[in-house]
Amino acid sequence: MKLSLRYKTSLAILISFLVISIIVGKIELNFQNQRSLATLEKNQLLLKTLMERDQESFANEIFEQSIRALQIRINAIMQITGVNHIRVYNSNGHLINSDNTASPKGEKLTSQLEPGSRKTMFSLNQKPDIESLTYTKEIRAIGETIGFVTIDYSLNDIRVEKQKSWLLIGGILFIIFIMMMLVLNLVLSHMIIKPITTLRDSMDKIRSKKINEQVIIHTEDEIGDLSRTFNQMSNELLNSYKTLEDQNRALKKSENEINKIKLYLSSIIDSMPSAIIGIDNDGNITQWNREAEKMTRINAQSALNTNIMDYSSIIGLEEKDIKKTLLKKIIHIKKKKSTIIGREAKTFQATLYPLTDSGLKGAVIRIDDITEQVLMQEAMIHSEKMKSVGGLAAGMAHEINNPLAGILQNAQVIARRLGKDLQINQKTAKECGTSMAVLNAYIKKRKIDQLLTNVKTAGNRAARIVKDMLSFIRKESGNFVSHSMNQLFDETVNLAKADYDLKKKYDFKKIKIKKEYQSDLPKVLCERTQIQQVFFNLLKNGAYAMNGIEDNHYTPIFILRTRQIRNMVQMEIEDNGPGMDEKTRKQIFEPFFTTKPVDMGTGLGLSISYFIITDIHKGKMKAEPARNKGTRFIIQLPLDTKKYHEK
């Protein structure tokens, strides 16, 4: 609780007055005790004198048992001021006579004097409403005790005198207290409290920013010195405040400029096409631009003040890469690495730049999404390979076709000349001393007919390979019509379920098909049979891969997806098979590359599919790992927005 100075001053005066009153009271009490003692001694002397004067008379009257004389004596003594009671007792302590006045309230008149009081003595009787001095006188005659006389003398005059004295002292002290309160408060209020209050009010005004407040000096004492010091402080504070205001304006201007620069730099960093991540010397993230948010799908608020190693799996950096840059202060480039973000496989390249200027510690990490660049490089490599392979295939096709045709033709001629149905064969055999029956028996026994069949089968297979090679390098534009990719997917799945070759090797009906189609997918201008061939090749390869997993609890699954991405329609075929490593994924579209045994495929299926999509239909095709460790093929075909808008 806050106490005012006036209250504290009054409290101090009150305490001082109480101390003075206690001291004065103590002195007055000593004086009163002395006066009371002197009065008591005076009363004792009076009673002794009175009893010595009447002792002989009391002795005669008690001895003679003269009650009347005793009563007259008692009445005479009762006329003396201060005497309250007189009692006369015989030698045995029995009451003989006394004054006839009624006893005061609470006082008991005894008819028997107690043995302990049967001697000459003084005693004080103090009660709430009366105080008296009792004098007991032993009456003797002829050397013997014949009775006792007790006189009660009132001491009320002492009490009254004390009360008057206390009232006088109290009145004087009260008047002194009032004078002290009035005079001291007036003096203190004018000389101390008022100047201090003025100082306080001035300080309050200064607190409310009235800096130039001055105090009027009333005295030349310490309060005046304090007021002068306050005025000087107020002037200095005013100057300091003006200086601070100037500095504050300069700081605000600098702060605005710094904020503009920070906003400008932040806008530059956020506008950069690369992900920019700033880290301190401990690897804690201090900067995370908008491209980093898009690339990692982690907002800046969540990433700031966390450690960069929490995102190592996304950005493809290891702790040793960061330490190398921070400790050795050298630029470090991390080789590209494929990472799955959502459903897409991304390839990133990270470059670490150490902070070397102004004593700053830390590094800046620039991460570039080079997925398109890598795909373009791979496409260029594929294109160059295709061109070279195309030229080679064209030459080989023409060079192989002639001897291959000769082999097949001669094999057919040999089969005809060994046939027993032709007369020319029978005639020639007879001329050679044998018969066609013997010759056929020899042929069957030596399995020459089977060898000829193998020659024709191998020749026909080689012819098909040559035909596929020619189809591979030939650019033809068939009958392009708008088709629904959802419908082509369904039709291709039905063909795969009914394909005899698939049933013979692995039952396609045992594979679970999940369809995630976009219901309002636009139609695509394409060559129906070629697109179905691509779908069929991918389904067949996926079925072959999943068939190789030997697990009783495993269920092979195809996930077919369609959706529109800007001006492209995207088709996805995803399986939950064993998947492919990165090296294999880079080679699967190369001609004659296959992971199947020699008698299971030629290695041209995916190459032809790739060229059907990219070269003939001007689309895109790629393979990437799926979340379930399988493989996902992604095909994108362009929409003809000028002519076809139907869905």
Task: Give me the pLDDT at residue 411, please.
Answer: 80
pLDDT at 570 over 90: yes
- Window from 261-275, 381-395, 548-562 with minimum mean pLDDT: 381-395
Is the pLDDT higher at 640 or at 595? 595
Which residues, in sequence order, are CB contacts of 518 under 8 Å at separation 6+? 486, 562, 563, 564
What are 564's strand-pairing partners? 569
418 and 540 co-located in one domain: no
531 and 412 co-located in one domain: no
Q: In whole angstroms, give the CA distance from residue 94 to residue 389.
A: 163
425 and 508 co-located in one domain: no
Task: Give me the pLDDT at residue 523, please.
Answer: 92
In a domain, 194, yes or no: no
What is the rounded average pLDDT of the residues 282-300? 83
pLDDT at 391 over 80: no
Torsion 463-465-469-471 (CA) sign: positive
Confidence of residue 559 (pLDDT cuts 50, 70, 90): very high
Task: Give me the pLDDT at residue 487, please.
Answer: 92
In a domain, 234, yes or no: no
Task: Give me the pLDDT at residue 645, please.
Answer: 39
Cα 144–147–153 angle (5° rounding)?
130
* H/E element, 415: helix 371-417
Torsion 290-291-294-298 (CA) sign: negative
Which residues, in sequence order, are CB contacts of 240 under 8 Å at separation 6+? none
pLDDT at 518 over 90: yes
pLDDT at 467 over 70: no
Q: Per residue in 469-485, pLDDT tens?
A: 565 455 444 578 899 99
- Domain count along the chain: 4
Task: Give me the pLDDT at residue 478, please.
Answer: 58
Residues 565, 552: contact at Cβ < 8 Å? no
In a domain, 343, yes or no: yes
What integer best gives the mean pLDDT of the chain?
78
Task: Give me the pLDDT at residue 496, please.
Answer: 79
Confidence of residue 561 (pLDDT cuts 50, 70, 90): very high
361 and 459 co-located in one domain: no
Distance of CA 483 to the CA centre of its chain: 55
Task: Give me the pLDDT at residue 212, please.
Answer: 60
Is the pLDDT higher at 601 or at 428? 428
The residue among 166, 188, 219 that closes a domain is 166
**How many Cβ atoms from other residues are within 10 Å of residue 404's Cβ?**
18
421 and 547 co-located in one domain: no
What is the rounded average pLDDT of the residues 598-623? 80
58 and 143 co-located in one domain: yes
464 and 533 co-located in one domain: no
In a domain, 214, yes or no: no
Tokens of 126: 């103090």
Phi, psi dihedrals of residue 83, rounded to the nearest 5°: -80, 125
Task: Give me the pLDDT at residue 515, please.
Answer: 94
- Window from 370-384, 523-537, 623-637 with minimum mean pLDDT: 370-384
521 and 485 co-located in one domain: yes
Task: Give me the pLDDT at residue 472, please.
Answer: 45
Which residues, in sequence order, are CB contacts of 474 under 8 Å at separation 6+? none
Residues 393, 602: contact at Cβ < 8 Å? no
Domain containing 592 equals: 478-638
In a domain, 244, yes or no: no
Q: In whole angstroms, give the CA distance from residue 469 to residue 478.
A: 18
In a domain, 558, yes or no: yes
Residues 523, 484: contact at Cβ < 8 Å? yes
352 and 389 co-located in one domain: no
Question: In CATH, what number is assigned to the domain containing residue 306?
Answer: 3.30.450.20
400 and 422 co-located in one domain: yes
Distance of CA 187 to the CA centre of its chain: 62
Confidence of residue 5 (pLDDT cuts 50, 70, 90): low
What is the rounded average pLDDT of the residues 225-245? 74
pLDDT at 633 over 90: yes
Confidence of residue 418 (pLDDT cuts 50, 70, 90): confident
What is the rounded average pLDDT of the residues 380-404? 65
Q: In whole angstroms, give the CA distance from residue 190 to residue 196.
A: 10
Residues 357, 342: contact at Cβ < 8 Å? no
Is the pLDDT higher at 465 or at 411? 411
Q: In whole angstroms, give the CA distance from residue 219 to residue 233.
A: 19
pLDDT at 635 over 90: yes
In a domain, 257, yes or no: no
Question: In CATH, what number is assigned to the domain containing residue 441?
Answer: 1.10.287
Task: Give me the pLDDT at residue 621, please.
Answer: 92
pLDDT at 641 over 50: no
- Window from 175-184, 191-200, 205-214, 604-613 with minimum mean pLDDT: 205-214
538 and 577 co-located in one domain: yes
What are 87's strand-pairing partners? 98, 150
Output DSSP code: residue 116. G
**How many Cβ atoms from other residues are within 10 Å of residue 367's Cβ?**
23
In a domain, 102, yes or no: yes
What is the rounded average pLDDT of the residues 620-647? 77
pLDDT at 604 over 80: no
Question: In CATH, what number is assigned to the domain containing residue 603?
Answer: 3.30.565.10
What is the rounded average pLDDT of the residues 567-587? 89
- Report the candidate in 570, 508, 562 with the shortest Cα–Cα distance to residue 539: 508
- Window from 219-223, 303-307, 581-585 with minimum mean pLDDT: 219-223
Task: Give me the pLDDT at residue 643, please.
Answer: 40
- Three-class SS of residue 118? coil
Task: Give me the pLDDT at residue 557, please.
Answer: 92
What is the value of pTM for the model shown?
Answer: 0.35
The residue among 143, 166, 189 that closes a domain is 166
Confidence of residue 558 (pLDDT cuts 50, 70, 90): very high
309 and 450 co-located in one domain: no
Q: In whole angstroms, give the CA distance from residue 541 to residue 351.
A: 39
The residue among 108, 143, 166 that closes a domain is 166
pLDDT at 256 over 70: yes
Tokens of 49: 């004198």
Query: In one letter, which amino acid is 513?
Result: I
pLDDT at 646 over 50: no
Alpha carbon separation from 268 to 162, 228, 545 (Å, rounded) = 102, 59, 49
Q: In whole angstroms, give the CA distance from residue 445 to residue 424.
A: 23
Cα 462–466–469 angle (5° rounding)?
140
Q: Per residue in 82-128, pLDDT tens?
A: 888 888 888 888 888 888 654 444 445 567 787 877 778 888 777 66
